[in-house]
Amino acid sequence: MTNYLIGIDGGGTSCRAAVASADGRILGRGKAGAANILTDPETALANIGEAARAAFMEAGLDPQGITAAKAIVGVAGHNVGDAVHYVKRRLPFAAADIESDGLIALQGALGNHDGAVAILGTGSIYILRQGETVSYVGGWGFTIGDHGSGARIGHALLQESLLAFDNIHEASAVTDSVLAEFNNEARDVVDFARLAKPGEFGRYAPRVFEGAAAGDPVAVRILKAAALTVDEALDVVVARGCERLCLLGGLAPLYRPWLADRHQALLVEAEADALTGSVAVAAQRFGTQARAGA
């Protein structure tokens, strides 16, 4: 009987799966709904199974074969202990490990090279791999971390809009546009912000990048402060020996021109995506593919 491998890239809006041969060659891909193991583990389990069966079907394989396969499941919230244990015991595979979405993204982006990824999306986190050692810098979520993230940039824009409303800070085209969206009612901005989730703040981040590109002084100030937090975190991974750096996440292409010159020379393009990364980890752990030296 053939030993198939499964890679899962689970996210808050969708879950992707790939089935591969024991040497890591991808045979088929599938997709299903959200896989958030922290907030909705039952739905996550259902969608992980469905995406895996879809991948088997695309590969021309019997979808019931997933129960004999070994899988790497990359998900956000992997480090929240109880949810991981609960989900891991119930996964419909012969064997499986749950890994962070960041680690499988790093494996995809850097392949078997040492180096670091800066994941710059709604949140922000930095992951460094040196040989067998993986270390995390930053992250910690919107409330008290994720500096430079889209959520923090959007939050900063709303905050500057209120400061402009009060004439405490200068107004500009971007703060005017935010206030106009809320009918120039500061109270409406506050009511929105009080209930907004990180993703809702993050939807204002592109406006800051666009405004900064057009020279809007408030947008430039917000973005320089955000880019400084990214550069400071990158300094830490570089100090730990990182010589290869890949920017990932929705803000990665927007951020690149704003980062310090000292980091530009280290930047590389991603080799592959997180789904490919999850298959590669599966092949190293359960298959016949050894991880090459760095």
Which chain residues interact with a copy of itself by CB under 8 A?
79, 137-138, 140-141, 143-145, 147, 155, 158-159, 162-163, 166-169, 186-187, 189-190, 193-194, 229, 232-233, 235-236, 239
Least distance in angstroms from the C-beta of 143 to a copy of itself:
5
- Is residue 219 exposed (0-12), middle (13-18) or buried (19+ Cβ within 10 Å)? buried
Q: What CA–CA distance (Å, rounded) separates 15 from 40?
A: 13
Q: Name the minimum Å distance from CB 192 to a copy of itself.
A: 9
What tokens appear for 88 in the block? 């891991």
**Contact indicator for 15, 29 with CB cutoff of 8 Å:** no
Measured CA to CA, the distance from residue 243 to residue 260 in angstroms comes to 15
d(CA 211, CA 59): 46
Q: Which residue, 64 or 79, is less far from a copy of itself as judged by CB?
A: 79
> What CA–CA distance (Å, rounded) separates 95 from 90?
11
Least spacing, CB of residue 232 vs a copy of itself, in Å: 5
CA pair distance 269, 247, nearest whole angstrom: 8
**Rounded to the nearest whole angstrom, what is the least distance from the CB of residue 238 to a copy of itself in the complex?**
12
Q: Residues near 192 by Cβ (< 8 Å), separated by ≥ 6?
A: 158, 182, 200
173/236 with CB nearer a copy of itself: 236
Name which of 163 and 266 has its Cβ closer to a copy of itself: 163
Least distance from C-beta 69 to a copy of itself, angstroms? 32
Nearer to a copy of itself, 162 or 275 (CB): 162
Nearer to a copy of itself (CB atom), residue 28 or residue 145? 145
Q: Which residue has the tokens 């850097």?
A: 110
Please state the closest distance from residue 212 (CB atom) to a copy of itself, in A. 21
CB of 157 to a copy of itself, least distance (A): 10
Phi and psi at 269, nearest 5°, equal: -80, 155
Q: What share of the chain is helix, strand, coil (3-state, %, to 5)?
A: 50, 20, 35
Question: Which CB, 49 or 148, lies closer to a copy of itself?
Answer: 148
| Cβ neighbours for 201, distance < 8 A, ≥ 6 positions apart | 142, 150, 151, 152, 154, 155, 158, 193
Closer residue to a copy of itself (CB): 163 or 173: 163
